[in-house]
Chain A
Amino acid sequence: MDLPAKQRQFEDQYPALFAQTYRFVRYRVPHTQDAEDLVADAILRAYAKLDLFEPEKGDLSQWLNGFARHKVLSHWRDRRVTVSFEELEDVLSSPDPAPSEGVDQRLLAERLMAGLPQTVKALIAMRFIDGLTHEEIADATRKEPQAVRQFFSRLQRKLRLQAQELNDDAPSYVQ
C-alpha cells in the first residue's frame, strides 16, 4: 500500500480513529486540556508518519493507539499527572477479609471502580487494559516497582473485601 492509499484509509476511518484515541487518552489523563493536546499530538504525528505504517502488522487503530499510548506515558513520566499512593490509604486501608464466593464479580468491579479517583482508574487501565507491567507503570509514575506491586496487591485485596461486604447485603441476583 502506497502513502496516498494509507492516507485515504486514514481519512475514511478518521471519525472512528479520533473517537477511539480521544477516549483512550481522556480516560488516562485527568485534565481535559492536557488530554486534548495529547490527542492532537498523537493523531497529527501518526498521520505525519503514515509512510512507516505497515498494514500487514496490524490495522490503523492499533497503529494510532501506539502513538496515543506513548504520548500518555510520556505525559505521566513528565510528572504532569501525579499519583501519591499514600493518598490512597483511605481507599485501600480496610482490613483484609477472606475472598467471597458466589458474587457477580463484574458488578463488584463496577462498584469498586465507581468509588476510585480517576488517576487510580487510569493506573488500573494501564495495568489491566493496556497490559503494562508493574515496572512500566513504575517508570511512568516515577515510583519504585515494589510500591506499584504493593499497590495492585492491596487493590486486589480491597476488591475481595468489597466483594465480601456486598455479598452480605447483596440482592438476590448477586447471591
Chain B
Amino acid sequence: MSNDLFRDDYERESGSIPVNERLQKKLAAKMGFGKKGFFSRSFSFPRLAAFGTAAAVLTLVLWSPAFGVPYEVIPERLSAAVRGWGKTGSNLATAYKSIPAKIAGRTDDWQHPQNVQLEQGGGYGQALGLSSGSSGGRGVDLGLSYATAIGLGTSGSAVQSAPSASNRIGYSVGGAKDIVSFRRNIENGYLPLPTDITYEGLYYEYFFDTGEKEVCRELFCPSYNTAVSRDPVSGKDDYYLSVGLNSGMTEADFQRQDLDLVIVLDISGSMSSGFAQYYYDQGAAKQDVAEPQKTKMAAAAESVNALIDNLRGADRLGVVLFNDRSWIAKPMRSVAETDIEAIKGHVSEIQANGGTNMEAGMQEADALFDEGISEGRQKRVIFLTDAMPNTGDISDAGLLGMVRRNAERGVYTTFIGIGVDFQSELVEALTKTEGANYYAVRSPKEFRERMDEGFDFMVTPLVFDLNMDLAAEGFEIAQVYGSPEANEATGELMRVRTLFPSKTEGGETRGGLVLLKLRKVSENGDLKLRLRYKDAKGVAHAQDSYVSFGAVGTEKYETSGIRKGIWLARYADLLKNWTIDERIVTEESMHQPMITEDTGIIDPRMPPGFASKWERRSVPLRVSSQYAGLFRDFRARFAEEIAVLGDETLRQELDVLDRLSERR
C-alpha cells in the first residue's frame, strides 16, 4: 500500500466535504477582515485612518435607512464615538465596533473595553444604590407553574394530585455544589485548604435516600431519621438525626421564571495562568500538573458560553468584565434580541491582565440591575473568578456586604471557581448569603454537562430561612453537616438559609440531606422538632414533628441515606483535620493530630488567624505518618460501609484515601 493510493482517495473525499461558510464569515469577522477599510490598511497615518474610518461609520449609520442597512443608532454610543475623534485611529475603530450591529433582528451589543470609560465603581457613573432598603424584603413573585399547582403562598395548601415518584424533585442546600477544588488540588499534588472540602459540596456529589415516609404534597416536606453509629477511631457511640429535603414537585411542575442574568467575569492577570497552576507560585519551582496547557481565562470563557447556552429567549443577559477596574461589556438585553453567537465569540477573545478587584465587578453588576430591575423575574449575578482578589474591599462593608444587600432585594449570587488555586475560604464566606451557591469548574466540558443538567435549578432558590428548633431533654445539637451555615447552629437551633431544587433518581435526591450530630445529655430519647421556613413569596410556614431514638445504646441506621451521610461527614472531618494539621507542621515544626482515640473523628477547629490570606500560595501535598495510618484504617472501615450501602460511586473517595495513605 503506497501513500499515493490513499492520497487520491483522501483528496477526493476530503475535497467533497462542504465548508461551513457561516463559520468562515464568523472567523473572518473576529480577525477583522473586511472591516479595517482601505485607509487603515494602505496608509500609516493614524489620524487620516481615523477620519476615514469615522467617515465610513457615520455614512453607514446616517444613510443606513436609505440603503436598507440594518444598523441601529444609539445616541449615547454615537456621541461616545464622536468624542473619540481627534484622539487616535484605534479609538475610532473600536467606537465603530461598539455601535450595536443588528443583523436579522439580533443585536451584537458587545462593547470593547478600549472604548469604554473605565471608571471604577460604575462605567455609567451611577451610584451603587445598594442600601436603599426599599425592596422591603424578598417580595419576589416566583410565578412557578408549581406555585400555581399547589397554591404556593397560601397556608396549608396541598397538591391536587399525588406526584409520580419517578420524576420527583427534591432539595439541596445552597453554598458549595461540589468539592472539585479539593479533588483537583490532590490530583495535582497540592495540599488543599480545609475550606476546599465542604460538607454540603461533598453531599451534593451524591444521592441520598431521604427516608420520606409519606408522599410529599407540599412545597417542602422534611423527613426525619435517626442513627446511632460507632466512631471508628474512639469506638464510642455517636447520635445523629437527618433532615431529608423533600418536595411535592415533579419535573413537569417545575418551570423556572424568566431570568435577568448578569455574568461578571474576572479577566485579571491571574486568569492568564494555567488552569492547574498556582498563580502566586510564579517564580517558584513548578509542580507537575495534570492539565497545564489551558489557561483559566480560556476555561472561564468556555464556561461562560456554557451558561449562555442555557438561557431562553425571554431571559435577559448582561456581561461585566473586571480586573483592577470594571466595565459593562454587554448591557442588559433580552436573549431573543441578542446575537448570542457573536457575544460568545467576543467572550472567547477576552485576554486577561491587570489586578483583581472583585468589588468593582460587583458594583458594575449592580448598576445593570439598577437600570431596569423588574418584578416577576429571577435575578442573579453569576461571578466567575479564580477568587484571588488583591485590590478592593472584600470586607463585610465591601464585597460581602454587597452580596448580602443584593440578596435583600432579590438579586442572588452564584460564584463559579476557576483553577486549582481558587480561594475557597473567601467564597465559602460569601455563599453563606441567602440564595447564593458556588460551583467549581473541573473542566469546561464537565461544567457544560452540569449546566445542561442543572442550570434551571441553580438559578431558582425556592425555600428560604429554614430554621429548626430542637426541644429535647436528652439531646442537644453538637454539629450540623451539609449546610454552609453549620457554624451558626446552637444547641437548640439549626439554620439553613436557602434550598434549591435538586434532581431525584431512583427515589434518592442529590444532596438531599442535612445531618445533625447530637450530644447525648440524658437517657430521654424523645425529640420535638419545630421547623420554620419561608417560601419564595415570603410567606412563613411552620411544622412540628416528633422523633424518638427508642432504646439508645445500640448501633443502628434508620435509612441508607443517614448512614451514607454519617460516613461522608466523618470522611470530610478526617480530611479537614489533616489539611489543618499538615499546615501546622510547616509553621510550627510540631505535630499532634487532632484526631485521637480519645476524641474520635471530630469536626475540625481552625487556629486563630489560620485562614487570613486571600492570596493563596501552594503547599506541596504531604501526609504525615500519623495521618497515613488514620487514612488506612478509615479506608478499611469505609470500604465495608460502601459494600453495605451498595453505592459504587463512593469508591472515588477510596481512591483519594489510597493516594493519601501512600503519600509521604
Chain A interface (Cβ < 8 Å from any Cβ of B): 4, 8, 10-11, 14-15, 18-19, 22-24, 26-27, 36, 39-40, 43-44, 47, 74, 105-106, 108-110, 113, 121, 124-125, 128-129, 131, 155-156, 159
Are the CB atoms of B9 and A106 closer together than 8 Å? yes
Are the CB atoms of B3 and A128 closer together than 8 Å? yes
Q: Which residues of A contact B124 (CB under 8 A)?
A: none
- CA of A128 to CA of B17, assembled, Å: 19
Are the CB atoms of A159 and B1 closer together than 8 Å? yes
Are the CB atoms of B3 and A44 closer together than 8 Å? no
The chain B residue with its CB closest to the CB of A80 is B445
- CA of A26 to CA of B14, assembled, Å: 8
Are the CB atoms of B23 and A8 closer together than 8 Å? no
Q: Which residues of A contact B8 (CB under 8 A)?
A: 106, 109-110
Name A128's contact: one of B6, B31, B41 (CB within 8 Å): B6
- 30 A-B residue pairings within 8 Å (CB atoms): A4-B41, A10-B31, A11-B31, A14-B31, A18-B27, A18-B28, A23-B14, A23-B15, A24-B14, A27-B13, A36-B23, A40-B26, A40-B27, A43-B31, A44-B31, A47-B31, A105-B2, A106-B8, A109-B1, A109-B5, A110-B9, A110-B12, A113-B6, A113-B9, A113-B13, A125-B14, A129-B3, A129-B7, A129-B10, A159-B1
Are the CB atoms of B6 and A129 closer together than 8 Å? yes
Whether B280 sits at the interface, judged by CB under 8 Å, is no
Complex A-B, nearest 6 residue pairs according to Cβ-Cβ distance, in ascending order: A109-B5, A128-B6, A27-B14, A23-B14, A23-B17, A128-B3
Report the minimal beta-carbon distance from A108 to chain B, rounded to whole angstroms: 8
Q: Which residues of B contact A27 (CB under 8 A)?
A: 10, 13-14, 17
The chain A residue with its CB closest to the CB of B15 is A23
Are the CB atoms of B20 and A22 closer together than 8 Å? yes
Q: Which residues of B contact A18 (CB under 8 A)?
A: 19, 24, 27-28
Q: Which residues of B contact A22 (CB under 8 A)?
A: 17, 19-20, 23-24
Q: Which residues of B contact A113 (CB under 8 A)?
A: 6, 9, 13
Q: Which residues of A contact B12 (CB under 8 A)?
A: 110
- CA of A8 to CA of B2, assembled, Å: 38
B interface SS class: helix
Q: Which residues of A contact B31 (CB under 8 A)?
A: 10-11, 14, 43-44, 47
Are the CB atoms of B33 and A11 closer together than 8 Å? yes
Are the CB atoms of B27 and A43 closer together than 8 Å? yes
- CA of A146 to CA of B13, assembled, Å: 29
Report the minimal beta-carbon distance from A93 to chain B, rounded to whole angstroms: 18
Q: Which residues of B contact A124 (CB under 8 A)?
A: 6
Are the CB atoms of B3 and A36 closer together than 8 Å? no
Are the CB atoms of A109 and B17 closer together than 8 Å? no
Q: Told that A10-B31, A110-B8, A159-B1 touch, could you supply 18 new A-B pairs with CB distance under 8 A?
A: A8-B41, A11-B31, A19-B19, A22-B17, A22-B24, A23-B14, A24-B14, A27-B10, A27-B14, A39-B27, A40-B27, A43-B31, A44-B27, A109-B1, A109-B9, A124-B6, A125-B14, A129-B3
Assuming the A-B contacts A14-B33, A44-B31, A106-B8, are A36 and B15 also in contact, with contact meaning beta carbons closer than 8 angstroms in the complex? no
How many A-B residue pairs have C-beta atoms within 8 angstroms? Tell me: 80
Report the minimal beta-carbon distance from B160 to chain A, rounded to whole angstroms: 43
- CA of A129 to CA of B5, assembled, Å: 10
Chain B interface (Cβ < 8 Å from any Cβ of A): 1-3, 5-10, 12-15, 17, 19-20, 23-24, 26-28, 30-31, 33, 41, 293
Report the minimal beta-carbon distance from B376 to chain A, rounded to whole angstroms: 35
Q: Which residues of A contact B15 (CB under 8 A)?
A: 23
Residue from B6, B12, B17, B20 having most chain A Cβ neighbours under 10 A: B6
- CA of A167 to CA of B30, assembled, Å: 53
The chain A residue with its CB closest to the CB of B23 is A36
Report the minimal beta-carbon distance from B18 to chain A, rounded to whole angstroms: 9
Assuming the A-B contacts A109-B1, A156-B1, are A39 and B23 also in contact, with contact meaning beta carbons closer than 8 angstroms in the complex? yes
Q: Which residues of A contact B3 (CB under 8 A)?
A: 128-129, 131
Q: Which residues of B contact A40 (CB under 8 A)?
A: 23, 26-27
The chain A residue with its CB closest to the CB of B24 is A18
- CA of A11 to CA of B41, assembled, Å: 12
- CA of A15 to CA of B8, assembled, Å: 23
Report the minimal beta-carbon distance from B242 to chain A, rounded to whole angstroms: 39
Q: Which residues of A contact B24 (CB under 8 A)?
A: 15, 18-19, 22
Report the minimal beta-carbon distance from A61 to chain B, rounded to whole angstroms: 14
Report the minimal beta-carbon distance from B1 to chain A, rounded to whole angstroms: 5
Report the minimal beta-carbon distance from B51 to chain A, rounded to whole angstroms: 20
Report the minimal beta-carbon distance from B58 to chain A, rounded to whole angstroms: 25
Q: Which residues of B contact A129 (CB under 8 A)?
A: 3, 6-7, 10
Report the minimal beta-carbon distance from B346 to chain A, rounded to whole angstroms: 13
Assuming the A-B contacts A8-B41, A27-B10, A36-B20, are A105 and B5 also in contact, with contact meaning beta carbons closer than 8 angstroms in the complex? yes
The chain A residue with its CB closest to the CB of B28 is A14
Report the minimal beta-carbon distance from B182 to chain A, rounded to whole angstroms: 23
- CA of A41 to CA of B539, assembled, Å: 51
Q: Which residues of B contact A74 (CB under 8 A)?
A: 293
Name A44's contact: one of B2, B9, B30 (CB within 8 Å): B30
Report the minimal beta-carbon distance from B14 to chain A, rounded to whole angstroms: 5
Q: Which residues of A contact B27 (CB under 8 A)?
A: 18, 39-40, 43-44
Q: Which residues of A contact B2 (CB under 8 A)?
A: 105
- CA of A44 to CA of B293, assembled, Å: 17
